[in-house]
A and B are shown apart, each in its own frame.
Chain A
């Protein structure tokens, strides 16, 4: 009855993730077939990554927090604050390394303060991070109401650094080869992804996130330091928001008080589409990665279909989120019924 070869059924986490990946691939193939155009070029995918590296990073952080049963809606505002701070710092003659440290420090500060309030004073995470969001937004505006452009030679080098892959490129109308381009930010995002993946899959701490999200009381009884674990989840999420801010700066090269507006909601959407449950305990960085890509793809498809007005993107995003949540609850309830 218990042979080593027994194939375990997919866990909820794996099942939801698989669904997302399948839907993403299906959707992309469909777009290639029907819309053609840009979707036929590899650059389309790279562009999606280039444009959304910071969203992916933020979503990864949020996934950790959500697996632990929490929520952090300050991530977008912290990203924005980091962008503005880095731009101003660089323009006043700061160094590139200094700006990286600054970005991480800002994220860390938010992570620590919010994490302490949520874990040790047991204040509702929604309220704490809502306050954090207002605080960061307000502070961004104080730093500068007007858009600021980076004017820093060293940073410009970093910003322009791109990996070019000629064989994945395409020939433009005039016959010139346009190589596929990947920005540095994408590699940062990939690095974050790998680290988060390792953390959640192979580290004791990662399992502890799942444990406290699955059943907090049980986790305590199992000898897990619940408060500390939760604190760390917010701390990591904060740091990732800081890194996301730096990547954002590299991508846009400018700071603006409305940067990353609504990013927290897109990050939550990415996590959910990727199979993370708001109730905690279920989630996966791979799912989140594809969740972010799915979200982006649908927006691209909307734009390519000629629906250029911005509300169409919002409407489809909303519709898709509903669809995924519905799908998840149907799949999960089917499963628990079958078990009985």
Chain B
């Protein structure tokens, strides 16, 4: 590994209205190294990256490339200085072809040399082993391929600094390995790579160094050897790890005594096959299974979010009909949707408006919530859930992912649901907030609220749930509780190994 500093960022400061997003952060990238930039959501990773790529202008500090102080005012500036970025969200144009996407914005002539581009693009794609044709419309490629095209573009731009912002979040294992090979290949050519990710194992797989940020401040820079994974996590969240594992011992015996709150028989929807399900008051249950196993579809059917096609539903022993979300809400059911950006937050509305949304819908438009009432609700929940926002009037879109999620949680808590369905509430948010959400779930259960908790991290579900419904291929294949609640058992059930648990309710 060479050690010439390629990129130096010194005392970078960035201020957003009311928030000090970066407070004198230093960052150094050397030639031919893969440098992981770590931190919780809201720690300032994205902000730092955006300052470096010219999306934001910094409010202080200097940036040097190859020892020269440079000023970066726009993404073009950054590109001209050899700094390329591949973002988590694909930042290519779906309506252009692969070749056009690779060459647009950096042509040297007024004319498009279509044939040249296509030939060059095909060469690069086949060199990097990317399964795409240069003439293909980008929107027709899978997300993974789109991502790789973005990298191919950056690679071809002779970039010195390549920033990969959460590049692996939409890739499967094989594709991740392809990407890592590509990264190592680039590294050996002297490219400095800044790697931002939530996946800790991946950091240790490819990175040479780690820089940790927390709350907009630099925690430190380490080589991977001197920073074991556990310490990395505790540096990121700023607390010791003991807390993480001491939660969630459940008393099984008690559970069965509680009344059943919700019971469904043969419930089915346009997307879910018929299934039976019940949940008791104060119980935390989980739906688990691989992606596409039908876990989200099932809970959506409970909430009436998809078209319900059949089945009987009882709440507190009384037969009810739930075919629309509003009916579910009136029956005391809340549902935090899987995709918070699409189904959850309304980014342009303030924190206050987002929080009172569900309550307002339940009240109906003829009984508006007064401003002062709404403000006091908002303040109450901002405090209770420790939502980090400049004020209650800040647009939700400007909060970090974890805080957005808390706002949606607040929205549902405000309706005082008796049964709360949380579909992937912790996806893409940082360890600290995850912990807070898990604690909150347990506290709700103590207060008698039934909770269905879905997460793709099995560990997390084991910590919070007292009963796990396991699904495979759109069927419920087992139910685990008590001493069966361990990772091995869950894995076996998902994989369809030992099937002794296939006792239908």
Q: List A residues at the B interface (Cβ < 8 Å).
A: 1-2, 6, 8-9, 11-13, 201-208, 210-211, 213-215, 217-225, 281-282, 339
Contact = CB atoms under 8 A, between A and B. Distances in A.
Given A205-B110, A225-B76, 6 more contacts: A211-B96, A215-B91, A215-B94, A218-B91, A219-B105, A221-B85
Contact of A6 (B87, B126, B133, B153): B133
B79 to A, nearest CB: 5
Interface of B: 53, 75-76, 79, 85, 87, 90-96, 100-101, 104-107, 109-112, 114, 122, 126, 131, 133, 135-137, 140, 153
B387 to A, nearest CB: 26
A213 B92 CA distance: 12
A1 B122 CA distance: 13
Nearest to A9: B140
Contacts of A223: 75-76, 79, 104-106
Contacts of A222: 75, 91-93, 101, 104-105, 153
A281 B95 contact: yes
Contacts, number: 89
A223 B107 CA distance: 10
Closest 5 CB pairs of A and B: A223-B105, A214-B93, A214-B95, A221-B91, A281-B95
B151 to A, nearest CB: 13
Contact of B104 (A2, A11, A208): A208
B76 A218 contact: no
A11 B137 contact: yes
B164 to A, nearest CB: 14
Contacts of B100: 207
6 contacts: A8-B136, A204-B109, A204-B112, A222-B101, A223-B76, A224-B105
Contact of A214 (B75, B94, B110, B131): B94
A220 B75 contact: yes
A218 B106 contact: no
A224 B105 CA distance: 5
Contacts of B109: 204
Contacts of B92: 215, 218, 222
B94 to A, nearest CB: 6
B199 to A, nearest CB: 23
Nearest to B122: A2
A8 B133 contact: yes
Nearest to A12: B95
Contact of A8 (B87, B94, B105, B135): B135
B104 A207 contact: yes
A202 B101 CA distance: 15
Given A8-B136, A202-B112, A204-B112, A224 B104 contact: yes
Counting chain A CB atoms within 10 Å of each CB, which of B85, B92, B110 scores highest? B92
Contacts of A221: 53, 75, 85, 87, 91
Nearest to A67: B95
A214 B135 CA distance: 17
A135 B93 CA distance: 36
A295 B299 CA distance: 49
B118 to A, nearest CB: 9
A332 to B, nearest CB: 11
Given A218-B92, A222-B91, A202 B111 contact: yes
A27 B93 CA distance: 35
Contacts of B53: 221
A264 B382 CA distance: 50
A221 to B, nearest CB: 4
A12 B91 CA distance: 20
User: In the complex, which of the residues A207, A208, A217, A220 has the most CB atoms of chain B within 10 Å of its own CB atom?
Assistant: A207
Nearest to B126: A2
Nearest to A339: B140
A210 B100 CA distance: 11
Nearest to A8: B135
Contacts of A218: 90-93
A208 B107 CA distance: 11
A207 B75 contact: no
A2 to B, nearest CB: 5
A210 B97 CA distance: 11
